Amino acid sequence: MTLLKLGIIGAPLTHTLSPLLHGHLLQGLNLSGEYKKYELSSDQLGKGLETFSKQGLRGLNVTIPHKVAVMNLMDWLSPEAQLAGAVNTVVFEQDGAYKRGHNTDIQGFIQGLPPLFVERLPESHILVLGAGGSARAVMTGLIQLKTAGITVAIRNPARAISLLGNAETIKQTYKADTRILTLPLGALSSLADFNGVINTTPVGMWPDIQQSPLSLAQLETLRPEALVYDLIYRPTETDLLQTAKRLGLPTVNGLEMLIRQGITSFELWQEKPVPDTLMAQVRRELASALEERNAQQG
């Protein structure tokens, strides 16, 4: 049986649960394979991909900070990857000579949203923190779901131009009239206008668990029904989510998105659907692994 060689590229990769997720999928489907972590800096990205092409890899997940930069290294991009301007899944074909870039974060994000929140999006104004690869997927998902307005709070203003350009194409594709605004992260004060906040920055991610992208004073200005969603899943409850919970706000972490995007990546590599029963089993395994890690870290 040929070994299914898979992995994840990014930096840092200390937080990632993807090896565990894909390990369970390989085992659950009785496949002989491996899923390895490849920590690559931005300078090493091009060379790294070339090497993987020659090593018989079938696929890679791409995470922080390479989702945008890796696009230029692909031979083909899926319509979703082109729309979002970000790739989180690479499929190697023709013995590594041909690289397809996909984005499974968009559907992973959509599938992980609470149904009531989705229902209200056409009347909602959502604040997105960050403007990297996952912010682009989140923005694409929100536009696809016909969200009334999105404000993207950005650390680096240079990112705003390409983000707004992308947003126009996404709006045309989905025939949505979402109003898109950008503003510097530092200029955020009251959040009273927002029906939800989505953190796509790594602020608060393990091991820097004391950090939060929003202060208590800012969170206190949110409406009581506003959803606070953190794409981070390690820790399970970031400082941002803990504070929001204490204030009685509904919260969601990134675990469901991780599972959904990961399963879709796996289906692209395997060209076969993953059974729902296995997804449920993987969800239980990951939740308990996270609990264990949280307990170990005190």
User: Where in the sequence numbering do the catalytic residues fall?
Assistant: 67
Residue 170 within binding range of ligand NAP, rule CB under 6 A = no
Site for ligand NAP in 266-295 (CB under 6 A): none
> Binding ligand NAP by CB under 6 A: which of 134, 212, 243, 270?
134
- Give the x-and-dash track for 95-114 against ligand NAP (CB under 6 A): ----------x--x------
Q: Which stretch binds ligand NAP (CB under 6 A): 43-51, 127-135, 140-148, 244-252?
A: 127-135
Residue 235 within binding range of ligand NAP, rule CB under 6 A = no
Measured from the CB of residue 224, what is the shortest distance to ligand NAP in angstroms?
Answer: 25
Q: Which stretch binds ligand NAP (CB under 6 A): 132-140, 190-198, 216-224, 284-292?
A: 132-140
Q: Which stretch binds ligand NAP (CB under 6 A): 27-35, 96-104, 197-205, 289-297?
A: 197-205
Measured from the CB of residue 263, what is the shortest distance to ligand NAP in angstroms?
Answer: 11
Q: Which is nearer to ligand NAP, 197 or 257 (CB)?
A: 257
Q: Which stretch binds ligand NAP (CB under 6 A): 28-36, 44-52, 196-204, 263-271?
A: 196-204
Q: Which is nearer to ligand NAP, 107 or 270 (CB)?
A: 107
Q: Is the peptide bond before 12 cis (omega within 30 degrees of 0)?
A: yes
What lies within 8 Å, CB to CB, of 214 at 6+ separation is 129, 188, 191, 197, 199, 240
Residue 265 within binding range of ligand NAP, rule CB under 6 A = no
Measured from the CB of residue 186, what is the shortest distance to ligand NAP in angstroms?
Answer: 9
Burial 188-227 (b: 16+ CB within 10 A, else e): beebeebbbbbbbbbbbbbeebeebbbeeebbeebeeebb
Which residue type occupies 147?
A: T
Residue from 4, 11, 17 nearest 261 by CA: 17
Q: Which is nearer to ligand NAP, 57 or 70 (CB)?
A: 70
Strands 98-102 and 89-93: antiparallel
Gap between the Cα atoms of 137 and 84, Å rounded: 5
> Binding ligand NAP by CB under 6 A: which of 55, 156, 215, 297?
156
Residue 60 within binding range of ligand NAP, rule CB under 6 A = no
Chain positions contacting ligand NAP, by CB under 6 A = 63-65, 67, 105, 108, 130-135, 155-156, 159, 185, 200-203, 205, 231-233, 254, 257-258, 261
